[in-house]
Amino acid sequence: MNDIKSAKANLLEMLDGPVDQALSKYNFKRRKVSLVYKRKLAESIQEIDFVTDFFPRYEQGAEAHIHPFFVWKIPSVSEEALRLVNGNKMLLANAPDILLKQPIEISAPKENHERWFTKSADDYSQIGVAICSFMEQWLVDLLESLQSIDDLLEAYESSDDRLLKQQHWYVYVTAAYMLKGEREKARSVMESHLGNPGLKKRYSAVYDNL
Amino acid sequence: MEGSPQSFNRYAYGNNNPYSYVDPNGETPAHILKFAADVALNVAINYATTGQADVGGALVDSTLNIVNPLSSLQKANKLREIVGKSGVTNSGAKWNNGWRTADGKFASPNGPGTAGAAAEQKVWDAVKQKPGWSVIEGRVSVRNADGQLRVYDGAAVSPRGRTIGLEVKSGAATKTAAQRDFDSGVNTYNPAVGVGNSNGVNVGRSLEIRVP
């Protein structure tokens, strides 16, 4: 346990240095001992969560596997989505407030995916710089393009392949169309993506509430 | 002994137990020698694994195993294995009633931290090559409707939005009974939902990927 504590201390030290500096430019803030950066926008909340597996058994000799996640929340869409599913949170992965949660590497083309492992305390600053550089190159564009309900709909309509689209993602898209008063488009999303007989049964509440 | 009926007993030299005891010269009760050797082996194993020469514990172990003729041979092999590997492997695993990682989990003595771990990376790379598929690397923790926890090696999201929990097994490794029970109950209608760092993930199917 002491090893994990010291590894976590190393990670926090890394965040205190290059990462804080890089993300503060985009108004991301972090509590002192937190691994989550957050910024509040007019319609949505964006977070970058530095999820870390300490002493991962799948990488020999690694002290930490740092794989940050991007989290996107739009409270009004979540509220509408919850209404559509009659409050059944299980249809929204039991996390109705989270529209999108995905590894940041998905924002880059597959050939540019990176993995960040540290083997000793000396590696953290170098890895911190590498992660910041990756975020500057690939993630910032995505962050800027996902800020509002309109952005959500645009990402859907353009089939943005930088997003991790699980089934419940389409319930949020439907909810966004409902908030915009476009009931037909909302129904079309459901029919296109959750329209087979099995999924229609599972998401029947959404169909009923459209 | 000559002249007595006992002289016809060909195995009296070994307490009527020729399988356990031998006395080729007819001079020493061999089981005493065997017991002494067994105590020495136990002391050596204790010292190699814990760093302490626990003579009392070794005596108890030897007494309990005195009826088992194979026990000393097994211990000798175990000691040879421990000494041969110097107690610590290049993966950091130590001998602790089997090769284990620092947190007590079984591990391969030669390869990466866990047997078959290197196979995972190959799987993630292979899944990523499929058009439209994405991979969530690292551990994915989910709970089913009964509240049971399952940690997958990773997850893949299909182009149609299905999230599949991936279990990578290499060699002859198989799923545990608990893993099989959990996976058999996961489907589109009874998905397992992410918890902790994995919240927002909705696993509707699981897949065991075997890597030779």
The answer to whether A24 contacts chain B (CB < 8 Å) is no
pLDDT at A1: 47
Distance from CA of B118 to the nearest CA of A (A): 6
Report the pLDDT averaged over residues B63-76. 62
Burial (CB count within 10 angstroms: exposed 0-12, middle 13-18, buried 19+), residue B178: exposed
**Is pLDDT at A110 greater than 90 in this prediction?**
no
Would you state the pLDDT for residue A34? 92
Residue A94 to residue B162, Cβ atoms within 8 A: no
Residue B100 pLDDT: 74
**What ranges do the domains of chain B cover?**
5-84, 117-211
Residue A186: which residues within 8 A CB-CB, separation 6 or more?
A174, A175, A177, A178, A210
Q: Per the structure, how many domains does chain A have?
A: 1
pTM exceeds 0.80 for this model:
no
Q: Which residues face B95 on adjacent strands? A: B99
CA distance B45 to A116: 40
| Closest Cα in chain A, distance from residue B79 (Å) | 26
Could you tell me if the ipTM is greater than 0.90?
A: no
Residue B106: which residues within 8 A CB-CB, separation 6 or more?
Answer: B98, B99, B100, B114, B115
- Which range of residues forms the domain containing residue A99? 2-209
Percent of chain A with pLDDT over 90: 77
Decide if A195 touches B, using CB distance below 8 A: no
Poorest-confidence range of B22-31, B34-43, B192-201? Answer: B22-31
CA angle at residue A165 from B179 to A177, to 5 degrees? 135
Give the single-character DSSP code of A70. Answer: E
The span from the CA of B67 to the CA of B209, in Å, is: 45
Lowest-pLDDT choice from A65-79, A88-102, B159-173: B159-173
pLDDT of B76 reads 65
State the residue for tokens 């029919």: A191
Name residue A17's amino acid: G
Tell whether A164 lies on the interface with B, counting CB pairs under 8 A.
yes
Residue A146 structure tokens: 């996902």
Partners of residue B189 in chain A, C-beta under 8 Å: 198, 202
H helices within A39-168, ranges in order?
75-84, 123-134, 140-145, 149-157
